[in-house]
Structure 1
Amino acid sequence: MKTDTAGQFRQIEKESILGQQPPFASCHASSLAILPNGDFFCAWFAGSREGADDVAIWGARRSGGRWQKPQILQQNGLPHWNPVLFVQKSGSVWLFFKIGREISSWQTWVSISQDGCRTWSPARELVSGDAGGRGPVRNKLIVLSSGRWLAPASLENGQWRSFADRSDDEGKTWRKSGEVFIPLAEAGTKSEAYREIPVSEQSFTGRGAIQPTLWESEPGRVHMLLRTSEGFIARSDSQDSGETWCEGYATSLPNNNSGIDLARTADGRLFLVYNPVGENWGPRFPLRLALSKDNGQTWEDVFTLEEAEGEYSYPSVNCSGNSLFVTYTNCRKDISFWHFELEEQGKEAGV
């Protein structure tokens, strides 16, 4: 258990999901789901290295306060990427993931569990004929006040750009929104630090904005923060439930061209996990938790999850009541899990 110095949390706990001897050489890109019975389920991709043909989707359950042995969920001889878990109101759990050797033309597949992630349906394409990635690219989808499912998506063929995939029939069909671009500086940069990050070489030539994370502030008003190659986290806003979006614009938050994620509490607070490094392909440390109380207009770092040198990246952030849960890649050897108990609004630091 760690001590909170910002007065935002009543309790903080950290756990290792994989322990000392994981059954693979490398793991990355976790997604966390809170199951109806109170258990947790976490999924990630793992194998010999990112992009290798042996990379599969793995998962593990936390039940009775302990993480169980990880199991392979999906594997077919092609590289698997970026699992995304989603718990439907009915209790069904959806597992979205990417398949393919080329990121620019990978496909999104989906499998569904009706028994709390113990068994899974045969995987199928989310959108028939997809090439480039439909549905959620890395972060969780959200359900709007209207009931619409909104999945944060992006494309990496040509200039990187993002969009929202919309479903008004609980995942049966999907419609792509307008695309979100950001203005690019005349010349791109690539930090020498990238050599320490075991990322697929395909990624290093891309520029733009990808892997959005979404929230709805009022009925129909939806927002996204985006990972970019330009040294900052970008933002875009929609006034029509995710059908159209404004051009992406810079926020005050730095970004190292690595994944981010946030969750919105019932009282409107936004909790974001990110690397506060404003350098394209810069180091993936430290890893911090930031808070906004004004719908993302301003941010304050309130907790440091990791500060030592290493790769701490690709967070997954979820909230339930007054609890906040975070998972992320820990040096490609483990997935870390954090549990924060939040102070109620107005009670932080004795306010």
Structure 2
Amino acid sequence: MNWLRTAFAAILIIPQAWAQQTNTVGMRFAEIPAGRFYMGAEGEGETADEKPVHRVTISKPFRMAVTEVTNAQYELFDPSHKALRGKDGFSKEDDEAVIFVNYKEAQAFCDWLSKKEGKKYRLPTEAEWEYACRAGTVTDFWSGRFFPKTDHKSQKTDRDPVIVSLKVGQFKPNSFGLYDMHGNVEEWCADWYGPYGEGDRTDPTGRKSGLFRVTRGGSHGTPVAYLRSANRLGMIPEDKHFQLGFRVVEGDIPAGNPLPAVEPTAVFRGVSQKGFQWTKVSDTQPVFMEPIRYVFKPECPDEVPFFHHNHCPAVAWLPNGDLLAAWFSTNQESGREMTILASRLRAGQRKWDMPSEFFKVPDRNMTGSSLFHDGKGTVYHMNGVETDGDWKNLAMVLRTSKDNGATWSAPSMADPAHQVRNQVIAGMFQTKEGWLVQAGDADPSSNGGTAIHISKDQGKTWYNPYTGTDVPEFEEGKTGGVIAGIHAGVVELKDGKLLAFGRGNNISAGDKGEKRMPMSISADKGKSWTYSASEFPLIAGGQRLILYRLNEGPLLLVSFTHHPEEVDEKKIGMLFTRKDGSSFKGYGMFAALSFDEGKTWPVKKLITDGKDRYLNGGAWTGAFEMDKSHAEPRGYLALTQSPDNLIHLMSSSIHYRFNLSWLNSQ
């Protein structure tokens, strides 16, 4: 690398303290000279978007604000924003960085300031931002290889954010005189987010279009690795939260030509738009097809990010006969590297496509996906988006497709508040009134219940029927505002009530007080729920149930006989009845049917055809053996039933297919 350092030193300006000027709203600006630098880093995996390292020329000098825009400065433009001071505990004082500003609002501030000052103010391009941040360095930080400890705030992912001062300019500036280029608050840039192009560039301006706007610099609650000069973040332009602000530059917009819009990934290519003629499976003959995997490592991991933990599926059937499955891929469930992958089982094919990246907001945790086809040609994709890592402070975003998933609308903010209740659960459905219902965990822990979100206008707007904050008592006969148990499955009953089962918040049943899976019923479309103990065993970590109304009418519950870490022999397994009346003890995933709207569940069947198999459920499940008395021991479940009445059950890695007749057979 010595040749690189030598070449770099020969072409770069020598860093020095640059003269600063102040405008009429109290902003100080540093003169940033023209020059050249090496942009990006030799990234891989979650940092692959930082490569290739390429030489960029900034052909004209510009002036950059030495700090982020403060509350006092922004409120000269928008006095109403003062109501957001202290929201989530942050940024109360005049000299703290303004937060809760989306991209459009940041642009509007620049336009206002331009008119007020008679000069051109704007957001920096991504290249300008990194050039100014580096200030003549090639190291991870402008200060060298390591970020100075004196500059740290809470530089880690905190489920409950650590409240710190966002006062601007508290620490040493870089050699261009710029403060807070690493941390404090993230900063909007002008560019659409997309991969870098090949070769040297002059005054680059990003992509022609995209889904996300670039943000840079990381925040007060960002791990140090994401504060590096080369690190790229992004956000939905309409989003705003407690980690995100901006700074401005003065100068003309660079004349560089933007790169083309990003091409769709393989999951969208070659999608048939022909209507599919579904042939119904037999109503009388049992069908159980060989289980197949739908999660595969991509053939080119450099192009499709793929991590070791693949989990939390969603699935929908499509009008062209395809199935579409989505799930998250990550190293850690709280990680910023988490991305949503997807694959297709194309009509008539026996093997799922290799996965492609389906949805990823750069450097954000993406916990929770849901897919739903309304039967009329519109496919809905709901997903959680964090401010950073973890899965507590999630917003909910929605995309739709009307061409079998070939193209998708830009993500809209179904619930823009980054908060609890928004951890999306697979299982969106439509009521008889045509309302969409989406469940979301009401708490990031293993207890705390499930909330529902409702849209009466095909996903344009959403509301939560319960707006209170009281934590209910999840006990027999009690009433509360959320469903008992996280990861809940929800259906509408024929009388309009809602029925739900969940994991955790278990309720005692019978004389012995044995804990059972909780059941919740709402007679007012989710404003309140009444709790009782179900007849089903409780489930726990790595397990997620399904509740679904089949095309033929019965309700289907899919869950697990016990948790595989249970050691009490008396509490593991369930008794199942054979056709001849004899019984056996079975272990693992089972299905139950109700023909009377959930009052009784006379059919219970272990999900195995009795053949000996080695299978691997991935995620928390791992390898297991299927045989006459053993089914998959745990997994997160998702389910759809296609118009041919074939039931498609997805665990964390495996695709099961069977029909109602098989469930009814003993």
Q: TM-score, normalised by structure 1?
A: 0.78
What's 2:635 paired with? Answer: 313
Say if 2:487 is the partner of 1:211: yes
Q: Letter of the aligned partner of 2:639 in structure 1?
A: V
Q: Alignment length, in residue pairs?
A: 313
What's 1:297 paired with? Answer: 599
Task: Determine which of 542, 553, 556 is the counterpart of 1:268.
Answer: 553
Say if 2:390 is the partner of 1:88: no
1:18 Cα offset (Å): 2.6
What's 1:3 paired with? Answer: none
> Which whole-Å CA distance do the structure 1 matches of 2:296 and 2:427 have between them?
25
Q: Relative contact order (alpha carbons < 8 A, sep ≥ 6): 1 or 2 greater?
A: 1
Between Structure 1 and Structure 2, whose CA radius of gyration is higher?
2
Matches within 5 A, 1:188-207: none
CA contact (8 A) 2:343 2:355 kept: yes
Task: Determine which of 324, 327, 330 is the counterpart of 1:41.
Answer: 324
Greater alpha carbon shift after TM alignment, 156-165 vs 227-236: 156-165
What's 2:651 paired with? Answer: 328
1:311 Cα offset (Å): 5.8
Say if 2:544 is the partner of 1:259: yes
CA contact (8 A) 1:98 1:133 kept: no
What's 1:202 paired with? Answer: none
What's 1:200 paired with? Answer: none
Q: Secondary structure at the match of 1:84?
A: strand
Q: Letter of the aligned partner of 1:70 in structure 2?
A: P
Q: Secondary structure at the match of 2:392?
A: helix
What's 1:57 paired with? Answer: 340
> Could you say which structure has the higher helix fraction?
2
1:30 Cα offset (Å): 0.7
Task: Determine which of 143, 147, 151 is the counterpart of 2:434.
Answer: 147
> Which whole-Å CA distance do the structure 2 matches of 1:130 and 1:54 have between them?
18
Cα separation, partners in 2 of 1:294 and 1:20, compared to 1, 3 Å: same
Gaps of 5+ in 1: 1-6, 186-207, 330-334
Matches within 5 A, 1:281-296: 286-296=588-598
Matches within 5 A, 1:58-73: 58-63=341-346, 64-65=348-349, 66-73=351-358
Say if 2:636 is the partner of 1:338: no
1:246 Cα offset (Å): 2.7
Q: Letter of the aligned partner of 1:99 in structure 2?
A: V
Gaps of 5+ in 2: 1-282, 300-305, 477-483, 507-514, 574-586, 609-625
> Which whole-Å CA distance do the structure 1 matches of 2:448 and 2:293 have between them?
33
Say if 2:413 is the partner of 1:125: yes
Greater alpha carbon shift after TM alignment, 283-292 vs 93-102: 283-292
> Which whole-Å CA distance do the structure 2 matches of 1:173 and 1:281 have between them?
43
> Which whole-Å CA distance do the structure 2 matches of 1:181 and 1:211 have between them?
17
What's 2:287 paired with? Answer: 11
CA RMSD of aligned residues (A): 3.2
1:296 Cα offset (Å): 2.1
> Which whole-Å CA distance do the structure 2 matches of 1:325 and 1:102 have between them?
30
Q: Secondary structure at the match of 2:340?
A: strand
Say if 2:493 is the partner of 1:227: no
What's 1:183 paired with? Answer: 474
Q: Letter of the aligned partner of 1:235 in structure 2?
A: M
> Which whole-Å CA distance do the structure 1 matches of 2:355 and 2:296 have between them?
11
CA contact (8 A) 1:144 1:219 kept: no
CA contact (8 A) 1:182 1:249 kept: no
Task: Determine which of 150, 156, 170 is the counterpart of 2:458.
Answer: 170
What's 2:399 paired with? Answer: 111
> Which whole-Å CA distance do the structure 2 matches of 1:249 and 1:139 have between them?
23
Greater alpha carbon shift after TM alignment, 267-276 vs 38-47: 267-276
Q: Secondary structure at the match of 1:29?
A: strand
CA contact (8 A) 1:96 1:111 kept: yes
Q: Secondary structure at the match of 1:253?
A: coil
1:279 Cα offset (Å): 9.0
CA contact (8 A) 1:264 1:319 kept: no
Percent pairwise identity: 20
Q: Secondary structure at the match of 1:317?
A: strand
1:79 Cα offset (Å): 1.7
